[in-house]
Amino acid sequence: MATITFKINRFNPDDERRGHFMQKYQVEAKKGDTILDCLNRIKWKQDGSLTFRRSCRSGICGSCAMTIDGVNNLACEVQVMALKRDTITVEPLRGYTVIKDLVVSLDPLVKGMLKVKPYMITKTPPPTDQERLQSPEEREKLDGLYECILCGSCTSSCPSFWADKEYIGPHAFLKAYRFVADTRDEAPREHLEPLDDKHGLWRCHTIFNCVEACPKDLNPTKAISELKKALVNDKF
């Protein structure tokens, strides 16, 4: 067991006078405890007003994304002891509007997703006796594209998003490429064309922050470069 100090960036919209401030909590943590376990302990035993999102506790739903010691990550996946620190700073994801404490508005994330039509578009009728098939090689091309859990970490880390809140965002570009690269999709242009916009692909300056920030080790920058090539070469 070890006593860890958590410095948590707090904000209550009903307390304008106080604004954003750091609050300290001491938590007893043992090997295997995650940041989320400790936040739950604070909420349940010390301060019920502390507000954060969580659901699956398994790195699947993306709800618990936050900034932990300056790095965007999933609170349910970061083990406290692995950080090897006596004091851990926890803040809301940067770039989004804070609603309360560690909860941010993910409206920009949703707006970006809707622009890229994040679903398969087909024009021909489906086969009557089987699903639309792919070869194993065609299916393999989607690895690294479909696993995004929409936690918002990548877009939160992106300077282009900090400068332009209408920026479509790396999460949405990755999703667009997931369908552009899918051999069963019959309208790649419909995913691509919304990206050819002043808030779109060309605002990416290949800084790679999104790659660093992704807790699922995905590579939105590579997807962005493939999408840029597809647009420039009018490949579709």
- Per CB under 6 A, residues contacting ligand FES are 54-57, 59-64, 74, 76
Q: How far is the CB of 62 from ligand FES (least distance, A)?
A: 5
Q: How far is the CB of 21 from ligand FES (least distance, A)?
A: 25
62 vs 108, beta carbon nearer ligand FES = 62
First to last CA, the chain: 58
The CA distance from 131 to 134, in Å, is: 9
Q: How far is the CB of 151 from ligand FES (least distance, A)?
A: 7
- 63 closest CA partner among 21, 41, 108, 93: 93
The CA distance from 204 to 224, in Å, is: 8
58 vs 233, beta carbon nearer ligand FES = 58
Helix (H) or strand (E) holding 231: helix 220-232
27 vs 36, beta carbon nearer ligand FES = 36
Q: How far is the CB of 182 from ligand FES (least distance, A)?
A: 25
The CA distance from 52 to 40, in Å, is: 9
The CA distance from 176 to 188, in Å, is: 9
Q: How far is the CB of 71 from ligand FES (least distance, A)?
A: 15
Q: What is the DSSP string of 114-174?
A: HHT--S----SPPPSSSPPP--HHHHHTTTTTS-----SHHHHT-HHHHH-TT---HHHHH
Contact status, residue 71 vs residue 89, Cβ threshold 8 Å:
no
40 vs 160, beta carbon nearer ligand FES = 40
User: Within 10 A of 189 (CB to CB), how many other CB atoms are there?
Assistant: 14
Q: How far is the CB of 39 from ligand FES (least distance, A)?
A: 11
Q: How far is the CB of 60 from ligand FES (least distance, A)?
A: 6
The CA distance from 28 to 177, in Å, is: 44
